């Protein structure tokens, strides 16, 4: 999939692109059908909601689940980001966020690059998020909210919120959020929220400020997020476990476009469990000569 000149201009201006129904119902079904078994696992890579058994985030499914391993190599997701960065990509993070009916908690206002910079020592914001809806997303089940153009602000000073939810996040203060929303149009477009059927995709800048509210509806809102990073921009520290921030900087090689519906061989290195080495962490800066 190639981005048009108009799409490139829109992305530069607003910081995101929305592609309704990019994946077919059959393609999406292969993914959503695999989620319950993944969420049922009692593993460190399943982060559950505060005070609930509902999964908030499942990490690294592409390392042990065949459908998601194929999705991680899908050209509809990888190729546009390669074109934007002009180089090959590696998988910095892979997660299936489960904002489950009645139990899905908020995601505070934040930039994803803020976490990657502060925790992982990612050098610059040459990384991109790609989100795929596995359920229909509507105004009731906690859709993503973006502040258009907020990526132009660059990296924003953030506070490490360790208490609001079960997952720590580097969050942006409310005073600045109000200013950014006002600058983006206030009540007339200062906050946007792409909604659509399962199979839709959002591509958004790692500095775009975003959030989502709690899901008080009876409708699940499960989405997959790929965080794709330019290989030259790989992280410099392993402060977080590898299932959260990956340490393999090998460039992604795409599968054919029909990979979700046909059999293609994929490597599943964690199929029989997460290795102990992936749970080890360090505050040391990576030796770049060794990493290269």
**pLDDT of res. 166:** 61
For residues 45-71, b (16+ Cβ closer than 10 Å) or e, as one string? bbbbbeeeebbbbbbbbbbbbbbbbbb
Nearest to 69 by CA among 223, 224, 185, 219: 224
Distance CA 111, CA 205 (A): 9
Q: How far apart are the first and last CA of the chain?
A: 30
Q: Identify the CA nearest to 281 among candidates 240, 249, 250, 227.
A: 240
Per-residue pLDDT, 292: 42
Per-residue pLDDT of the chain (292 residues; tens, 9 = 90+): 789 999 999 999 999 999 999 999 999 999 999 999 999 999 999 999 988 899 999 999 999 999 999 999 999 999 999 999 999 999 999 999 999 999 998 888 999 998 899 999 999 999 999 999 999 999 999 999 999 999 998 888 878 777 777 677 788 889 999 999 999 999 999 999 999 999 999 999 999 999 999 999 999 999 999 999 999 999 999 999 999 999 999 999 999 999 999 999 999 999 999 999 999 999 999 866 544 4
Instruction: Yes or no: say if 222 and 198 are a contact pair by the CB < 8 Å rule.
Output: no
* Cα distance between residue 274 and residue 122, in whole Å: 24
Give the pLDDT confidence score for residue 288 in this predicted structure: 60
| 260 C-beta neighbours (distance < 10 Å), count | 21
- Nearest in space to 209 (alpha carbons), one of 125, 92, 123: 125
Query: Which has the closest alpha carbon to 81: 192, 206, 188?
Result: 206
Q: Is the separation of the CB atoms in 118 and 170 below 8 Å?
A: yes
Give me the half-sphere count of Cα atoms (radius 13 Å) on the Cβ side of residue 196.
16
- Residue 287 pLDDT: 66
Per-residue pLDDT at 43: 93
Q: Which residues, in sequence order, are CB contacts of 9 under 8 Å at separation 6+?
A: none
Taken in order of first residue, the domains within the chain and their CATH numbers are: 5-291 (2.60.120.620)
DSSP letter string over the chain?
----HHHHHHHHHHSEEEETT-S-HHHHHHHHTTHHHHHT--STTEEEPTTSSSEEEEE-GGGT-HHHHHHTT-HHHHHHHHHHHTS-EEEEEEEEEEE-TTT---EEEE-HHHHHHHHH---SS-EEEEEEESS-B-TTS--EEE-TTGGGG-SPP-EEE-SSSSS-EEE--HHHHHHHHHHTTTTTTSSB---B-TT-EEEEETT--EEE----SSS-EEEEEEEEEEGGG--SB--S-TTTS----PPP-PPPTTTTTS------TTTT---GGGG----SBP-HHHH-
């Amino acid at each position: 999939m190639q981005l048009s000149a108009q799409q490139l201009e829109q992305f530069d201006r607003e910081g995101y692109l929305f592609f309704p129904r990019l994946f077919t119902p059959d393609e999406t079904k292969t993914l959503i059908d695999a989620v319950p078994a993944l969420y049922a696992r009692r593993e460190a890579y399943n982060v559950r909601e505060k005070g609930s058994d509902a999964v908030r985030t499942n990490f690294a499914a592409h390392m042990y689940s065949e459908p998601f391993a194929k999705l991680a190599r899908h050209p509809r997701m990888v190729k546009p980001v390669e074109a934007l960065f002009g180089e090959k990509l590696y998988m910095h993070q892979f997660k299936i966020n489960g904002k489950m009916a009645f139990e899905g908690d908020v995601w505070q206002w934040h930039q994803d690059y803020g976490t990657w910079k502060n925790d992982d020592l990612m050098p610059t914001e040459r990384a991109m998020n790609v989100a795929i809806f596995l359920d229909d997303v509507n105004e009731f089940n906690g859709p993503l909210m973006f502040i258009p153009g907020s990526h132009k602000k660059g990296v924003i000073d953030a506070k490490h919120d360790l208490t609001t939810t079960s997952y720590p996040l580097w969050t942006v203060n409310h005073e600045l959020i109000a200013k950014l929303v006002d600058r983006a149009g206030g009540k007339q477009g200062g906050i946007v929220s792409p909604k659509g059927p399962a199979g839709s995709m959002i591509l958004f800048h790692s500095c775009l400020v975003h959030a989502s509210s709690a899901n008080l509806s009876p409708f699940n809102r499960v989405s997959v997020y790929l965080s794709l990073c330019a290989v030259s921009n790989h992280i410099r520290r392993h402060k977080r476990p590898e299932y959260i921030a990956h340490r393999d900087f090998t460039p992604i090689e795409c599968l054919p476009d029909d990979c979700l519906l046909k059999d293609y061989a994929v490597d599943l290195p964690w199929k029989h469990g997460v290795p102990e080495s992936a749970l080890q962490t360090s505050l040391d800066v990576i030796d770049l000569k060794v990493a290269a």
